Amino acid sequence: MKSTCCRLLLLFGCVLLLAGIGFAGPCPSTTYDNYLGSGFSCGTDDKTFANFSYQSTSNPPGFSVPAGSVSVQPITTVGNPGFRFSAGWMASNASGILAVDSLIGYDVTVNPGGALITDVSLGIGGVGFAGTGSVFVDETVCLGAMLPSCTGGQFEQLSVYDYSGGTKLFDELSFAGVSFVDVEKDIEINAGTDGTARLSLVTNQFSESTTPEPGSIVLFGSGVLGLAGLLRRKLSL
């Protein structure tokens, strides 16, 4: 009887563990080119990140920022996971690099048993400009569906910037809890007619509610009750 109880307790522990984690491996600290490719996904906290994409252009051509030059650092804060993207985005009339543009995209899914996403934040650091230079990072967010159409979902926008018209280094969006978010960041660095601009850090985080998905609660509760009933039957033998 003792060995049977141990096996049942081990099975119960596995149910508890699987209820709070996803199936993807941990998101690595590496360059962004390692995140690209069909089928790649990774996990941080109780969220899975997938469908990574990247494009970069420049004016004149030949000075875009390649994915291999963008460093990725997962943010593993419990309840507020995300990423830090670091690169040497810059433009200046003196260098002849008049503009650089980079697009970063991916989606976030709540793992079974995880807490719904209720907040998205966008921030920049290592930023500056002179003269007519400007830095803009605009993020399009689709809550509950996929970009670009966002069919069945809800479009939202975040924006941060640094230029002669003002400075905004952080933006945040709160909403009713969803289990899926698709995002695309547009990083725009411009020298203008006579200026410089630079950016080295972009952060993106996804805060969550403290209440797991209702469907996950039902599924988890059913599993626990089933194991409890099995345990009682074994102990009564």
- Least confident among 71-80, 96-105, 220-229: 220-229
Neighbouring residues of 62: CB distance < 8 A, sequence distance ≥ 6: none
Q: What is the pLDDT of residue 216?
A: 42
Give the percent of the chain with pLDDT over 70.
Answer: 78
Return the structure tokens found at 233: 């039957």
Over residues 207-234, the pLDDT tens digits come to 987 644 444 444 444 444 444 454 455 4
Structural tokens at position 69 = 């030059």
189, β-bridge pairs: 100, 135
Going from the C-alpha of 227 to that of each of 13, 144, 222, 231, 233, the distances in angstroms are 11, 33, 9, 6, 10
- Residue 105, pLDDT > 90, answer yes
Q: pTM of whole model > 0.85?
A: no
Sheet with 99-110: strands ordered across: 41-44, 47-59, 99-110, 180-190, 134-143, 154-163, 166-168
Residue 6 scores a pLDDT above 90: no
Whole-angstrom distance between the N-terminal and C-terminal Cα of the chain?
9
